[in-house]
Chains A and B, each alone.
Chain A
């Protein structure tokens, strides 16, 4: 698992990258009440805002960690946005993307580095 400075986690699944947010981020956001997901087959550039998360406190964005194509989104979050608080590292993944250059993942933090960054 890799981590971004924006508190996203990235998990490789075959030739896809699955993206979610960390437990720390979910805790900071508070109770999530709405998630807006991108359309599948959207081409995204690194840094594009692709997901909107609304918690009881505020709205925040998730940006595409890499350039690529959104190939799947987690529709469960539409009906049950609270899943982001319950299982941020598992069931509450946001989207899967196809990335041209998987080696770009190496630039992100590993778990130890991430934990140190939020300590």
Chain B
């Protein structure tokens, strides 16, 4: 077994009573003494501080030195309008496979003379390989020595404003660089909880002091991976390796919204990315199966792997739960999974098999809870 990588904030997590577990090659806090349920609710009611330093931070710069060249180059790998992304703006996207699957989902920011990309921890190696192989006209480099913190929840703006006076001026998906006590903060107004909030990249050496300052605010509590998962599940956000992977297409996953007009059939830069045949075909004809929200009846959670059926007895499974658990804000179990297109209409009743018994599940629109983004 390879040794787990340690976070710059490890000592602080331990001091705060964080229960550390291995995750994507890192030792990460899964929860603090507050517990997953209360951490989740606290983030929705006030603000939560998450250490997401395990995520990959990557710089893509065109050898020409021009940001638009980097954007156009990246469009060869990602079916998103990146050239149209303004400076200081961030956009969600995904690297696709030649068969139209997803290598990883990520966030891209236009930073003037280069693009800053944040990727999933467990996919860093695959992402860097795909970027380097596909972008010979760009320099692709992993950012090292920088921690990544997420501050999420309705009180995030006020909490960050104490340290970054103009934090409120950021709109959803804005990005900017600010100085805090002599170090550079790379701030984006985005996150993975369905709440308003920020993601802040900063030097490892300053991370603990900065985190402590945020935690001095009684509205801010540290939140572990456990609640991060239930928060994103209620927000209907995909988790790579579970809800999306190299087999699922972005259209099956319901990520159509992330593919702007410019990259679709008839657009100014239509296609030209791996898997365009399948992805554009599914966009026009509709996919055979789709990711849906699922609300199991009763209180029993239906977790990943739960098989889904079209009837309450007999027949083969028609789909599988890809993420599932208990939604603390909904006070009910919630799940996501894939179903044949004919069963995807919200309100459709299907059945999930739990411990040998089939229990009714209602197909639901995503997100389960409306997002509180500050647009």
Residues of A bordering B, CB below 8 Å: 30-31, 33-34, 36, 52, 54, 56-59, 78, 81-82, 85
Closest 10 CB pairs of A and B: A31-B37, A33-B326, A56-B36, A34-B299, A34-B300, A54-B301, A31-B35, A56-B326, A56-B37, A31-B36
- Measured in the bound complex, the distance between the Cα atoms of B328 and A52 in whole Å is 19
Question: Which of these, B37, B230, B301, contacts A34 with CB under 8 Å?
Answer: B301
Name the CB-closest residue of B to A54.
B301
A residues less than 8 Å from B35 (CB atoms): 30-31, 56, 85
A residues less than 8 Å from B88 (CB atoms): none
B326 in contact with A54 (CB, 8 Å): yes
B272, chain A: closest CB distance, angstroms: 44
B residues less than 8 Å from A34 (CB atoms): 298-301, 326, 333
Interface size on B, residues (CB 8 A): 17
User: 1/0 per residue B38-67: CB within 8 Å of A?
Assistant: 100000000000000000000000000000
Question: Which of these, A52, A56, A78, A85, contacts B325 with CB under 8 Å?
Answer: A56
Q: Does B355 lie at the interface of the complex (its beta carbon under 8 Å from any beta carbon of A)?
A: yes
A residues less than 8 Å from B38 (CB atoms): 31
B299 in contact with A81 (CB, 8 Å): yes
A12, chain B: closest CB distance, angstroms: 30
Q: Does B226 lie at the interface of the complex (its beta carbon under 8 Å from any beta carbon of A)?
A: yes
- The 8 listed contacts between A and B (C-beta, < 8 Å) are A30-B35, A33-B326, A34-B301, A34-B333, A56-B36, A56-B230, A56-B325, A78-B299
B33, chain A: closest CB distance, angstroms: 10
- Measured in the bound complex, the distance between the Cα atoms of B326 and A78 in whole Å is 15
- Measured in the bound complex, the distance between the Cα atoms of B299 and A81 in whole Å is 10
A27, chain B: closest CB distance, angstroms: 9
B residues less than 8 Å from A58 (CB atoms): 303
- Measured in the bound complex, the distance between the Cα atoms of B325 and A81 in whole Å is 15
B residues less than 8 Å from A57 (CB atoms): 36, 226
Q: Does B31 lie at the interface of the complex (its beta carbon under 8 Å from any beta carbon of A)?
A: yes
- Measured in the bound complex, the distance between the Cα atoms of B331 and A81 in whole Å is 12
Given known A-B contacts A56-B36, A56-B230, A30 and B299 have beta carbons under 8 A apart: no
Cβ < 8 Å to A, chain B residues 280-306: 298-301, 303
A residues less than 8 Å from B36 (CB atoms): 30-31, 56-57
Question: Which of these, A31, A33, A56, A85, contacts B299 with CB under 8 Å?
Answer: A33
A7, chain B: closest CB distance, angstroms: 18
B223, chain A: closest CB distance, angstroms: 13
Q: Which of B230, B298, B325, B326 has the most CB of A within 10 A?
A: B326
- Measured in the bound complex, the distance between the Cα atoms of B328 and A31 in whole Å is 10
B75, chain A: closest CB distance, angstroms: 40
A30 in contact with B31 (CB, 8 Å): yes
B305, chain A: closest CB distance, angstroms: 11
Question: Which of these, A30, A54, A56, A85, contacts B300 with CB under 8 Å?
Answer: A54
Name the CB-closest residue of B to A79.
B299
B173, chain A: closest CB distance, angstroms: 30
Name the CB-closest residue of B to A81.
B299
A59 in contact with B326 (CB, 8 Å): no
Name the CB-closest residue of B to A35.
B299
B residues less than 8 Å from A56 (CB atoms): 35-37, 226, 230, 325-326, 328
- Measured in the bound complex, the distance between the Cα atoms of B323 and A82 in whole Å is 23
Q: Which of B31, B37, B298, B333 has the most CB of A within 10 A?
A: B37
- Measured in the bound complex, the distance between the Cα atoms of B303 and A53 in whole Å is 13
- Measured in the bound complex, the distance between the Cα atoms of B31 and A57 in whole Å is 11
B330, chain A: closest CB distance, angstroms: 11
